[in-house]
C-alpha cells in the first residue's frame, strides 16, 4: 500500500503526514524515498508553508489563552 516502488504519487494525507513527520524530525526512510521519487516539490513546499503558519498560529493562540487565564 505505502510501498515506495508504486508509481502513484502520494495522496494529500500521505504528503501531510510526511510534512508533519519532517517538521518534528521523525520521517521514515521509506516515506522519504516515496516522497523524493514520486512527489512534486512544489506540493511539499506549499503544504510545509501552510503547516508552519497553522502551527505558529496555534502556538500564538495557546499562549494568548494561557495569559488570559493567568490574568496577565
Residue 5 has pLDDT above 60, yes or no: no
Give the tens place of pLDDT for each residue, 21-54: 999 889 888 988 998 999 899 999 999 999 999 9
Per-residue pLDDT at 4: 52
Per-residue pLDDT at 54: 96
- Give the pLDDT band (50/70/90) at residue 8: confident
- Give the pLDDT band (50/70/90) at residue 61: very high
The structural domains of the chain, with segments of one domain joined by +, span 12-70
**Euclidean distance between CA atoms 15 and 57, whole angstroms:** 21
18 within 8 A of 31, measured Cβ to Cβ: yes
Amino acid at each position: 500500500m505505502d510501498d515506495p516502488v508504486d508509481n502513484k504519487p502520494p495522496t494529500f494525507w500521505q504528503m501531510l503526514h510526511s510534512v508533519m513527520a519532517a517538521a518534528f524530525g521523525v520521517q521514515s526512510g521509506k516515506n522519504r524515498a516515496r516522497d523524493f521519487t514520486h512527489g512534486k516539490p512544489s506540493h511539499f513546499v506549499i503544504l510545509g508553508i501552510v503547516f508552519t503558519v497553522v502551527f505558529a498560529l496555534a502556538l500564538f493562540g495557546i499562549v494568548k489563552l494561557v495569559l488570559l487565564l493567568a490574568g496577565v
